[in-house]
């Protein structure tokens, strides 16, 4: 009679427990987010709570031999019981009673899964709760789903959870193909995760592994000779690092398959790291590569040096002054308006626009120049004149319609006005990527794509296809950066540099083949770097990154860029190149010295109309003493020379013109 109340109490407890236990847990947000490249290669793995690494298990990517051994050793009737194994319970009770102590457990894999979600004290009441929970799990989940959840959450020591993470960290490989010794180790570790950690207790890890190998022999899973050979294998004693080099990219792309290309991502990261650590002062860099036809982001590296100040900031997404990088789009809109063409003449001379009087970067003026020359040499006055004709607010609205939103003049909340042409606004590297990708796409702008299945998004025609082509061709003629003089044959790199006020930001943005490349260098805190220009700081990085995409046309034959880059340095070049002043331009006689700029691999001597040019503070400076025509000559130590014919004019020969073209 005493048994009836106990049975009734048990039934009541089971019934109450059934309805009071929480619903089936959702694992959606509890596994590590994994960023993969377009082919599925892992780029970054984010940790979950408490810094744990928990990778989603997939039975299709786990060695079937491991699954077979797991079931045989841990839960032989897993596929036949309903979460609880009465036969195992009876066997355990008998063994424990005979031994006078607990020597055997009866927990199924499903019950162990319940403990992974909510660990509890090992008492009889909790055993009953776990039993109820296991039945609920079994009714609501398939056996394969139970296994996958178990193999996702089971601990393997340290901060490692799940067989995928354990296999990669302890074995350095995916669990898709495992040897017998590896299977035995991955079965032994969860039985005593901390006591058998291979990096701390390799002897205990090997002992546990060998015991599992013996059980595999007993269970008919291995023959004895194979087990002996498996026991002879050493256990790993060090944890292997999981991919975590792209934490900033992960913040942008999230988990899953991205548009990134792992090799390009790594290549860009190497270029930026090499450059930043060679600089004399702490500085950083960021870069992007975009496939122009699809607008897919192939590489996004937000920092070149994590160990530098601000090294954990993604500088591709920070608003900075873009310097002169918007000039191509100003001229493009003016061309579409019919105001000018790339060969139209413009005045590069001191000009006032109301209270605003822009100056060229070098504070030198060239007189009459073509739009092409003004763009290639980044002259400020012609660009501001063109913007005045287009309309600053109209230009800003066009940028916003294309995607990038000009954030107002840096340090000025009243609006950018004409200073927008010289970087008086705020844009990010991603904004510039949208614009330069549009230039390569025949003037059509659209949002960048970070996922292969992302929608194309709304397309906006920023400029006409004909104008986009004309501007791109002009950018191909821009002087190559110092040190790349022999690479001027790489005509596919069409680029523009930019330097923000106070030398705070250095930019280079351009097109090479089917790819757009954006490079930023500077300090994340915005501190100035005197003398650091886009041409000197960012452009060399752009050429390094863009070179593999560029085609070289030599003697009518197109050569792939890597081959050309290797061979062009060995060829005889044409000697020094006079970058400033360029041939055919006019220079204002202002009483100040004119700094002559030359690109040459060898030392050069400069002459103006036969007279040597003195050097001042490391610069070759010539001061015109009278108006007229002059010849600037550069001769290197091999005797190779080049000339530039220029004209010096006085102020009264210049027109302090209203903002219009002559």
- Give catalytic residue positions: 74, 324
> Peptide bond preceding 349: is omega within 30 degrees of 0, i.e. cis?
no
Question: Cα separation of 327 and 103, whole Å?
Answer: 79
Please give the distance of CA 25 from its chain centroid, rounded to a whole number: 35
Listed residue (190, 194, 196, 117) closest to 149, CA to CA: 117
| Positions of E strands within 271-397 | 284-291, 296-301, 345-348, 367-370
φ, ψ of residue 532 to 5 degrees: the values are -85, 110
Listed residue (75, 155, 58) closest to 110, CA to CA: 75
**To the nearest 10°, the Cα dihedral for 408, 414, 417, 421?**
-40
Helix (H) or strand (E) holding 150: helix 143-153
CA 484-485-486 angle, to 5 degrees, is 90
Residue-wise over 46-83: b if at least 16 C-beta within 10 A, else e? bebeeebbbbbbeeeebbebbbebbbbbbbeebeebeb
Q: Is 513 exposed, middle or buried (0-12, 13-18, 19+ CB in 10 A)?
A: middle
Taking each helix axis from N to C terminus, what angle separates 539-546 and 262-278, rounded to the nearest 10 degrees?
Answer: 150
φ, ψ of residue 54 to 5 degrees: the values are -135, 100
Tokens of 180: 């017998």
Residues ≥6 apart with Cβ < 8 Å to 592 = 363, 623
- Residues pairing with 257 in the sheet: 36
Pairing of β 256-257 and β 160-161: unpaired
Judge contact between 552 and 484, C-beta under 8 A: no
Q: Is 122 exposed, middle or buried (0-12, 13-18, 19+ CB in 10 A)?
A: exposed
- Residues pairing with 505 in the sheet: 522
* Residue keyed to tokens 């066009």: 398
Judge contact between 165 and 156, C-beta under 8 A: yes
Pairing of β 34-36 and β 256-257: parallel
* Residue keyed to tokens 């606004």: 425
Listed residue (324, 343, 497) closest to 419, CA to CA: 324
Residue-wise over 415-435: b if at least 16 C-beta within 10 A, else e? ebbbbbbbbbbbbbbbbbbbb
- The widest CA-to-CA distance across the chain, in whole angstroms, is 126
Taking each helix axis from N to C terminus, what angle separates 392-402 and 429-440, rounded to the nearest 10 degrees?
Answer: 90
Q: Mapped to the 3 state alphabet, what secondary structure does 559-573 carry?
A: EEHHHHHHHHCCCCC
């Amino acid at each position: 009679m005493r048994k009836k109340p106990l049975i009734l109490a048990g039934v009541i407890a089971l019934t109450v427990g059934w309805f009071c236990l929480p619903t089936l847990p959702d694992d959606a947000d509890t596994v590590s987010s994994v960023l993969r490249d377009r082919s599925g290669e892992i780029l970054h793995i984010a940790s979950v709570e408490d810094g744990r690494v928990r990778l989603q298990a997939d039975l299709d990517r786990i060695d079937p031999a491991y699954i077979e051994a797991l079931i045989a050793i841990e839960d032989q009737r897993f596929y036949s019981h309903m979460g609880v194994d009465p036969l195992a319970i009876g066997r355990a009770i008998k063994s424990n009673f005979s031994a006078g102590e607990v020597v055997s457990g009866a927990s199924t894999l499903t019950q162990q899964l319940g403990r992974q979600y909510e660990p509890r004290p090992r008492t009889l009441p909790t055993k009953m709760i776990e039993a109820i929970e296991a039945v609920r799990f079994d009714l609501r989940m398939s056996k394969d789903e139970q296994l996958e959840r178990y193999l996702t959450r089971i601990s393997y020591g340290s901060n490692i959870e799940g067989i995928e993470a354990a296999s990669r960290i302890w074995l350095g490989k995916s669990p898709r193909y495992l040897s017998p010794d590896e299977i035995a180790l991955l079965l032994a570790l969860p039985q005593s995760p901390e006591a058998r950690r291979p990096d701390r207790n390799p002897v205990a890890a090997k002992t546990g592994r060998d015991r599992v190998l013996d059980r595999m022999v007993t269970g008919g899973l291995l023959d004895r000779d194979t087990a002996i050979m498996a026991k002879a294998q050493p256990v790993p004693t060090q944890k292997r690092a999981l991919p975590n080099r792209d934490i900033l990219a992960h913040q942008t792309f999230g988990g899953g398959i991205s548009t990134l290309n792992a090799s390009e991502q790594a290549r860009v990261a190497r270029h930026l790291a090499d450059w930043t650590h060679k600089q004399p002062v702490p500085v950083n860099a960021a870069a992007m590569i975009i496939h122009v036809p699809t607008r897919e982001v192939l590489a996004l590296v937000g920092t070149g040096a994590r160990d530098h100040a601000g090294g954990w900031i993604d500088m591709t997404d920070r608003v900075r002054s873009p310097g002169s990088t918007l000039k191509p789009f100003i001229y493009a809109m003016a061309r579409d308006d019919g105001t000018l063409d790339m060969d139209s003449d413009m005045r590069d001379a001191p000009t006032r626009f109301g209270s605003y009087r822009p100056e060229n970067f070098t504070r030198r003026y060239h007189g009459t120049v073509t739009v092409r020359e003004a763009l290639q040499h980044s002259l400020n006055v012609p660009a501001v004149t063109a913007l005045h004709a287009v309309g600053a607010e109209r230009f800003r609205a066009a940028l916003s319609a294309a995607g990038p939103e000009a954030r107002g003049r840096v340090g000025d909340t009243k609006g950018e006005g004409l200073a927008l042409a010289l970087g008086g606004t705020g844009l990010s590297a991603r904004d510039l990527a949208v614009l330069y990708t549009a230039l390569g796409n025949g003037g059509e702008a659209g949002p960048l794509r970070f996922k292969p299945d992302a929608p194309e998004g709304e397309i906006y025609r920023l400029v006409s296809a004909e104008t986009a082509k004309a501007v791109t061709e002009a950018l191909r003629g821009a002087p190559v950066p110092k040190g790349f003089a022999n690479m001027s044959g790489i005509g596919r790199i069409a680029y523009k540099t930019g330097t923000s006020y106070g030398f705070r930001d250095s930019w280079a943005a351009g097109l090479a083949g089917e790819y757009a490349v954006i490079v930023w260098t500077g300090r994340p805190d915005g501190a100035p770097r005197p003398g650091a220009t886009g041409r000197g700081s960012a452009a060399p990085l752009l050429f390094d990154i863009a070179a593999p995409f560029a085609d070289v046309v030599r003697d009518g034959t197109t050569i792939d860029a890597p081959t050309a880059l290797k061979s062009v340095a060995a060829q005889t070049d044409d000697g020094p190149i006079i970058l400033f002043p360029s041939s055919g331009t006019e220079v204002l006689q202002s009483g100040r010295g004119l700094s002559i700029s030359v690109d040459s691999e060898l030392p050069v001597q400069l002459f103006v109309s036969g007279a040597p040019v003195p050097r001042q503070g490391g610069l070759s400076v010539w001061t015109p003493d009278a108006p007229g025509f002059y010849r600037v000559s550069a001769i290197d130590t091999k005797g190779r020379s080049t000339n530039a014919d220029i004209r010096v004019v006085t102020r009264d020969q210049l027109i302090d013109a209203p903002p219009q073209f002559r």
